């Protein structure tokens, strides 16, 4: 009854069960946190705006992104992935989401930031619908936990408009 095999088995089973329970509790404890993030984005400049040879329009923007995501960090947070997407509707597409900038926030100390940047990914439309187009800038974030369930949410900022003319 009390052979080496039995004892090892009992020990490993107990260890794995306790670990699994701790992981589950850590993940569940994330639900207790209700974050209150804030974000502002300014479009400082439209650097250029033109039509590619294949007919798709492309625009280059300079952006000021400031956000405070400190309240998102709990003890089970490994990192927060944050990105800014331009979102708009065209006659062909009911939704276009184009990521313009993203970043990884490794810790709470870095969660309050102000960034001055041009768009990191190319802002290209499927077609040519961007002239005078109204669009939303949405700051999305994905909370990656040390273990367990991942969370995501966003702040939508409305009222941005692209110029009527190419430049």
Segment contacting other proteins by CB under 8 A, of 31-39, 44-52, 57-65, 99-107: 99-107
Dihedrals φ, ψ of 76, to 5°?
-100, 15
Segment contacting other proteins by CB under 8 A, of 34-42, 60-68, 91-99, 108-116: 91-99
Q: Residue written as tokens 């800014």?
A: 84
Closer by beta carbon to other proteins, 43 or else 144: 144
Interface map 19-38 toward other proteins (x if CB under 8 A): ----x---x-----------
Min dist CB 63 to other proteins, Å, is 16
The residues near 110 (Cβ < 8 Å, ≥ 6 apart) are none
Q: How far apart are CA 134 and CA 89, in angstroms?
A: 9
The residues near 85 (Cβ < 8 Å, ≥ 6 apart) are 97, 98, 99, 100, 137, 138, 140
Q: Considering the rule CB under 8 A, would residue 104 count as an interface residue with other proteins?
A: yes
Min dist CB 48 to other proteins, Å, is 20
Q: How far apart are CA 141 and CA 139, in angstroms?
A: 7
> Residue numbers of the site for other proteins (CB under 8 A)?
3-5, 23, 27, 78-79, 81, 83, 85, 90-99, 102, 104, 106, 121, 126, 140, 142, 144-150, 152
């Amino acid at each position: 009854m009390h052979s080496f095999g039995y004892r090892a088995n009992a020990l490993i089973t107990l260890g794995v069960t306790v670990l699994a329970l701790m992981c589950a509790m850590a993940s569940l404890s994330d639900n207790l946190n209700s974050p209150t993030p804030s974000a502002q984005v300014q479009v400082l400049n439209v650097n250029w705006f033109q039509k590619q040879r294949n007919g798709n329009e492309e625009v280059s923007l300079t952006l000021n992104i400031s956000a405070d995501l400190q309240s998102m960090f709990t003890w089970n947070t490994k990192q927060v992935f944050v990105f800014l997407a331009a979102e708009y509707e065209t006659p062909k597409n009911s939704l276009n989401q184009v990521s313009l900038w993203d970043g990884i926030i490794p810790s709470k100390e870095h969660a309050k930031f102000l960034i001055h940047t041009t768009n990191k990914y190319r802002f290209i439309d499927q077609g040519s619908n961007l002239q005078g187009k109204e669009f939303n800038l949405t700051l999305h974030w994905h909370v990656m936990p040390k273990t367990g369930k991942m969370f995501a949410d966003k702040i939508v900022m409305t009222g941005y408009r692209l110029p009527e003319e190419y430049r």
